[in-house]
A and B are shown apart, each in its own frame.
Chain A
Amino acid sequence: MDTILSISDWGDFLLSRLLLDAVFVVVAILLIFAFFNRREYENTPMFRFFLTALTVTLLSRYAYFVISEAKINSRYLFPAAFYVLILCVPGFPVIVKLGNYLLKFIPGGKEKILAVLLVLGIGIACIGKALHNPEKKEYIHRVAQILKASSSPVLISDMGDSVRIAWHSDSELIPLSSVLNTQYPVFAGNALKRLKAQPGNLFLFVRFKDTEFRKIFTDRKLEFPKEFILLEEFNERHKRFYSLYKISFEH
């Protein structure tokens, strides 16, 4: 997002962010059909209020993204998505009319049945999307269980999920900067000495397999810290691997 008047930024904002990420593509298609039924959008004060609401919301959101240079999170556009959703509604009868035309070629077909099928189809597509949950991240609760079993646990991690694990295990969180590959060897050097003074049981949670994590150190010709004791490796759909270490200074 560069400037307020950039056409490509506005295109990305309206088409990709708003219609695909916030409105949902199946519902957004209805908007195209609603255009052919635009006589329903009467020029009433209510409709003008509604359009003003949509315009002001979109402008304020766009300005916010430009000024703050924040990553566009689709949930910030959900208020605008609500307005678009309502504007999509007159699209339903148009699709049915189109279907009605096609029904001439299907003997015994009925308009009402087609309408019910249409609503059911959109409903099923939406519900399917809503209940599809590919990233379950079951390891969050498993790690939390392990941490909870020890007294006054302290979690050290650079992962976003560490906030979740810390809450569910009621442990103190020491966040690491997420500059991977360079961070860990530094951490293993001076920071480890400092952590000796940290009360509680220390745990390190990293986004690597144990072998990969060790390789970061060996690639830099550093010895893998003997304080790191591997507790468990986790994998998510056999794609991403995570490792949990206990940091022990009792050697």
Chain B
Amino acid sequence: MRKIFGRTGIYLILIAVLAGALRIARALQEERYSTDAYFYFRIAKDWARYGADYAYLYDVAHTPPLLPWTMALSYDLGLTPEYIALGLGILLGMLMPLGAFWAASNLFPEPNEKNRNFIIGGRYAYALLAAFLVAVHPFFIRISVSCLREILYLPLMVFGIASALSAIRHKSLVKWCLFAAFTALANLTRREGIIILGIFFAWQLVEFCVDRKAFLKDILYYFSSACCVSAVFLAITLPVMYGLSGSSCVWSPLLINLQAGGYGHYFIHFGLG
């Protein structure tokens, strides 16, 4: 990250501006939002009118609260929820290429010498290309202006994965905490967010299987990173869960566990049969 703010930084800013411009162009062209978005608009409207206690009475009660709550804030600003969702979608859509750059720069830290001079970027050539691909990707552009939960979930996931890759590369517990924070926010947006947490534990298992000696040598690091990730994740999600208990929202970070149990049951009884 040392020399990022040189020429590479300028390229990165240009890519982010391109991403923003494309999303604005799509938003101006679009006459409608995704059908599901209107359910979140309605929850947001009821949240702004009656609070969380009655917001979910007519809709799926386990919908995570982050997006409807953010949309509900729009009424305080004298706007309707679609404007907040669009603004947020475009802004986070602009930031997503930066997340992709961060992820790819840690995934391909040292590209082969021959490939480094691919147009621009030197050792960040691949990272810039990854940022470019995410900026111009047609479906990511469309989803950014759809007002769906993906407008929050995808950028949070991308930054979560990028911070995890950086944490692994630099063996940094602070970055693992950052990963957990992004994961918790992703879980507050879509229940699948818990899968990102599952990836972390699955990766530890993979590391154990790949090189048992190295894993046991660094066992303290792996254990402390697991503690940090779990603690930060719970510190963000549990207060929200308890804050919403008794309201019409029955979201819980633990709900997916029942679903995961269902997967296992199904796999054993039907998948193999």
**Chain A interface (Cβ within 8 Å of chain B)?**
3-5, 22, 24, 27, 37, 39-40, 45-50, 52-53, 55-57, 60, 63-64, 66-67, 74-75, 78-79, 81-83, 85-86, 88-90, 92-93, 96, 112, 115-116, 119, 122-123, 126-127, 129-131, 133, 136-138, 140-141, 160-161, 163-164, 166-167
- Return A72 CB to nearest CB of chain B, in Å: 14
- Is A89 within 8 A of B108, CB to CB? yes
Partner of A164, one of B35, B133, B154: B35
- Is B108 within 8 A of A40, CB to CB? yes
Please report the number of residue pairs spanning A and B whose Cβ atoms sit closer than 8 angstroms.
177
- Is A131 within 8 A of B26, CB to CB? yes
The 5 A-B residue pairs with the shortest CB-CB distance in the complex, in nearest-first order: A4-B271, A130-B138, A129-B138, A130-B141, A126-B136
- Return A124 CB to nearest CB of chain B, in Å: 9
Find the A residue at minimum CB distance from B166. A46
Residues of B within 8 A of A115 (CB): 118-119
- Is A67 within 8 A of B262, CB to CB? yes
Interface membership of B5, Cβ < 8 A: no
If the complex has contacts A66-B266, A164-B32, A164-B33, are A52 and B195 also in contact, measured as CB distance less than 8 A?
no
Contact with A along B215-226 (1 / 0, CB 8 A): 000000000000
**Chain B interface (Cβ within 8 Å of chain A)?**
22, 25-26, 29-33, 35, 38-39, 41-42, 100, 103-104, 106-109, 111-112, 114-115, 118-119, 126, 129-130, 132-134, 136-143, 146, 148, 150, 153-154, 157-158, 161, 164-165, 168-169, 192, 195-196, 198-199, 202-203, 206-207, 210, 259, 262-263, 266-267, 270-273
- Is B100 within 8 A of A86, CB to CB? yes
- Return B89 CB to nearest CB of chain A, in Å: 13
If the complex has contacts A3-B270, A49-B203, A63-B263, are A74 and B139 also in contact, measured as CB distance less than 8 A?
yes
- Return B124 CB to nearest CB of chain A, in Å: 12
Grouping DSSP codes into helix (H, G, I), strand (E, B) and loop, the A interface class, with mixed when no group exceeds half, is helix
Residues of B within 8 A of A161 (CB): 32, 35
- Is A90 within 8 A of B108, CB to CB? yes
Partner of B115, one of A52, A83, A90, A112: A90
Tell me, in angstroms, the Cα distance from A251 to B232 when the chains sit together: 67
9 CB contacts below 8 A, A to B, read A40-B112, A48-B207, A48-B210, A56-B198, A67-B263, A78-B143, A79-B154, A88-B133, A122-B133
Residues of A within 8 A of B30 (CB): 133
Residues of B within 8 A of A131 (CB): 22, 25-26, 29
- Is A4 within 8 A of B31, CB to CB? no
Tell me, in angstroms, the Cα distance from A63 to B270 when the chains sit together: 12
- Is A63 within 8 A of B32, CB to CB? no
Tell me, in angstroms, the Cα distance from A53 to B106 when the chains sit together: 15
Tell me, in angstroms, the Cα distance from A137 to B195 when the chains sit together: 36
**Contacts A50-B107, A131-B25 known; 8 new A-B pairs at CB < 8 A:** A4-B270, A5-B271, A46-B107, A57-B199, A60-B198, A116-B119, A122-B133, A131-B26
